[in-house]
């Protein structure tokens, strides 16, 4: 089973798949960070750990059920000329869930205070947040496993790559969550990314393939601009005059 690691091709495949799984896991980590941020401070780290652990278990379970995974791609019914499989239905439901949830969160951040007229809001329960994380994990796990099956020649490589990717996500989940929670503009940007990913999942479910490269390039560019804005705002502790610094006023001439 592990003889594939004795070849250069096997190691190149492992590194490539690990990198791809880490990239695909970023949006998963962001969504888990946003959902866990609604809990009490002492519950947030626990929710993130449970979410990432379940994400890894789901990926491994789907890998070892590849025969069932292949059945998901078989058409179940058709509407007009468009055929829908089990995978398509999962992607459609997951896409609509991401779009709806991210839109609700953006509305809550921008207008929630006015709507509630200052009333204290009831925090979501730990169980409800975990259920939402599980639903998102299922969608992202399906996408991750399908990518792995297409890239790696051996199931052992897929398993090791996914464990590496989740270990990296574990290491960076808390810093990402802290950073997103500390910067409201980054949180809105992250939620906008989730809408974008939701639209991509809906398109995939409708049979329209969208290259993930376009999505991640757009996300990287937006994040780059936002990081520049954060640095600029951090450096501007005092208002900047368009006319340059002025010295002390000269005494009036008599």
Domain edges within the chain: 8-235
Are 196 and 26 a contacting pair, CB within 8 Å?
Answer: no
pLDDT of amino acid 53: 86
Q: Could you tell me which of 24, 16, 44 has the C-alpha nearest to residue 213?
A: 24
Longest Cα pair distance anywhere in the chain, in angstroms? Answer: 96
pLDDT of amino acid 240: 47
Q: How many whole angstroms separate alpha carbon 77 and alpha carbon 83?
A: 6
Residue 162, both tokens: 């996914």
Q: How many whole angstroms separate alpha carbon 48 and alpha carbon 125?
A: 14
Q: Could you tell me which of 227, 212, 178 has the C-alpha nearest to residue 25?
A: 212
Are 197 and 23 a contacting pair, CB within 8 Å?
Answer: no
| Helix (H) and strand (E) counts in the chain | 8, 2
Are 201 and 92 a contacting pair, CB within 8 Å?
Answer: yes
Cβ atoms within 10 Å, residue 147 = 17
Residue 208, both tokens: 């329209």
Question: Residues 6 or more apart from 169 whose CB is under 8 A from it?
Answer: 22, 25, 28, 29, 52, 55
Q: How many whole angstroms separate alpha carbon 215 and alpha carbon 226?
A: 17
pLDDT of amino acid 71: 66
Q: Could you tell me which of 140, 149, 9, 177 has the C-alpha nearest to residue 66?
A: 149
- H-helix or E-strand spanning residue 85: strand 82-85
Cβ atoms within 10 Å, residue 5 = 14
Q: Could you tell me which of 42, 79, 34, 43 has the C-alpha nearest to residue 207?
A: 79
Residue 190, both tokens: 């992250």
- pTM as predicted: 0.66
Q: What is the pLDDT along the chain (254 residues), one digit of tens a residue?
A: 455 556 777 677 778 878 877 777 777 788 888 888 888 888 888 888 888 888 888 888 877 776 676 667 778 888 888 888 887 888 888 788 888 888 888 888 777 654 444 445 566 788 888 888 888 777 777 777 776 666 666 777 778 888 888 888 888 888 888 887 787 788 888 788 888 888 888 888 888 877 777 777 887 888 888 888 888 877 765 544 445 555 555 555 54
pLDDT of amino acid 242: 44
């Amino acid at each position: 089973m592990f003889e594939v690691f004795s070849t250069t091709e096997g190691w190149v495949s492992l590194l490539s798949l690990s990198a791809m799984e880490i990239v695909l896991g970023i949006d998963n980590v962001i969504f888990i960070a946003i959902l866990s941020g609604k809990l009490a401070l002492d519950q947030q780290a626990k929710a993130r750990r449970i979410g990432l652990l379940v994400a890894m278990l789901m990926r491994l379970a789907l890998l070892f059920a590849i025969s069932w995974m292949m059945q998901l791609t078989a058409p179940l019914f058709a509407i007009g000329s468009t055929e829908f499989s089990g995978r398509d239905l999962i992607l459609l439901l997951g896409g609509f869930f991401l779009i709806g949830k991210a839109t609700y969160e953006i509305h809550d951040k921008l207008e929630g205070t006015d709507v509630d007229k200052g009333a204290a809001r009831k925090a979501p329960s730990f169980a409800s947040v975990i259920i939402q994380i599980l639903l998102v994990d299922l969608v992202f796990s399906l996408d991750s496993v399908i990518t792995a099956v297409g890239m790696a020649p051996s199931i052992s490589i897929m398993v090791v790559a996914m464990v590496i990717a989740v270990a990296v996500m574990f290491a960076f989940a808390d810093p990402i969550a802290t950073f997103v929670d500390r910067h409201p503009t980054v949180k809105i940007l992250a939620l906008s990314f989730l809408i974008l990913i939701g639209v991509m999942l809906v398109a995939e479910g409708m049979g329209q393939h969208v290259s993930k490269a376009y999505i991640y390039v757009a996300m990287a560019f937006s994040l780059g601009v936002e990081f520049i804005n954060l640095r600029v705002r951090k450096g501007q502790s005092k208002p900047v005059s368009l006319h340059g610094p002025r010295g002390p006023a000269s005494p009036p001439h008599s």
